[in-house]
Structure 1
């Protein structure tokens, strides 16, 4: 007869194996991003991966203000669009990826440079009007198998995410 202790040990191992299997089969390690453009203008989306939300908020970007002044802003200052132009990452060592989406186009890609525990930052610029910053979002799911979506429409930008 098998003891309760042995059964508990076997169940514990099965649960641990299940968690490991779940991480392995839950999808790609990097987040998957789907961008759909239902608007009449093209957009450039920049994706950055950082170790934590706190570090993300201190990321530095060079921007051109509406008054045509070049200055430095942190991500925390870009959470709400002030219609800055030419938003460019000023910090070194942060993985970046850029995607341009034309009107009527739908693009799906994985976010390179993401490792387990990182957060993903998206900055969107409208290409019709001198690369004007229109949207920022931060995805804080730290597990593999994430799916992010962004949709551009005449009324604005919407998005969502699934954290496996």
Structure 2
């Protein structure tokens, strides 16, 4: 991918593109609703994220086209001497640019942003069914050091 990618905070106008990317895979197609108009729940989530100074919804753009997205949450912890962590979630790239380095640039941008915010650690999760994603994150230096658990409510 050319270095013409730029990163910026998402706006409400980006929601349709974001949800489209989230829904455009086997797992996402089962849990997202890419309807027209979008369900209001996406706008409510967007407003909650953008009103919280410890959450950032970031898009990667090629010109005016949104080609990638990720959410970064900054969390203070009492452990590690009261350090901060950055959690990367919801990383997706447009099908048209997969395999062209956009995902790598997104993650590198997130790591840099975490450093700017004084974080001592960057963490992320990926579904165990996403074997390609796991290999991708490991190539970028992430290590599977913990077992994650979820309780669906």
TM-score, scaled to structure 1:
0.30
**Larger RCO, structures 1/2 (Cα 8 Å, 6+ apart):** 1
Larger Rg: 1
Q: Counting helix residues as a fraction of each chain, which structure ranks higher?
A: 2
TM-score, scaled to structure 2:
0.31
